[in-house]
Structure 1
């Protein structure tokens, strides 16, 4: 079976360094959905970090020649250097709780020999629905169908009970 997340050696090295350094992060967005079997395509891999000021993050990036570039003016935070090209930094997920709350739900998926934490498909769907961005309108039914297929094939009875995700409204 082909890798769901085709990564270069430099990209795998960056992820390996994050995992080895025990940086708390998870893969989110459509790349996380694809890793869970959703038939979606995306050009980037969204990473959600618990703490962008974590010294372990800086050490992990430096060890592979990459760096964290903090947000400036209208530019969002980003990674730069070898292996950083497909990775985007996510600061929050619409409709979801804080990182710590969502991290408790994380699924572990093996990619390129690494165990990566991945936001569950149900939570990705909740976030896309809450964001209400026009570019997500086409993907929401695809994610919903993928979730239903995953729930039907799941052997865990608890997983079958809840088929409609709930959207958490942002606090004002």
Structure 2
């Protein structure tokens, strides 16, 4: 869901040639599967494209990533444990830390989690989409600032990878 929403934000902002957006899980439980039908329905109703195949995040990917976005504190910890260096671990951030209403100084890390709607009803998927959309606006602002600061000749063609 987050990949579809942020990919759309990047395209709307004209950064799709500069920013690569992709997704992967921290475990391989659903590897090779498409998105949950409820996710597909919620994304479709909101007008987002939704092509996805689950795969597991690989530590070797850190070499070419500038930013890795986690949706909850468990994923944040798992991704930071996978990071080969402290520099790579610092690339991992929570998506909702970019939301306008986020106050990371006074809230526990799990207060910034996007809850996994898998075991709940359809409304959990809608709530998840709302959280992802709100945070994606702030993430886009941060990515745009990072991309536009880089000199064009030296810019990495894939500067961001949530």
Same fold (TM > 0.5): no
User: TM (normalized to structure 1)?
Assistant: 0.29
Structure number with bigger Rg: 1
Structure of higher RCO (CA pairs closer than 8 Å, 6+ residues apart): 2
Task: Decide which structure has greater strand share.
Answer: 1
Tell me which protein shows more helix as a share of its residues. 2
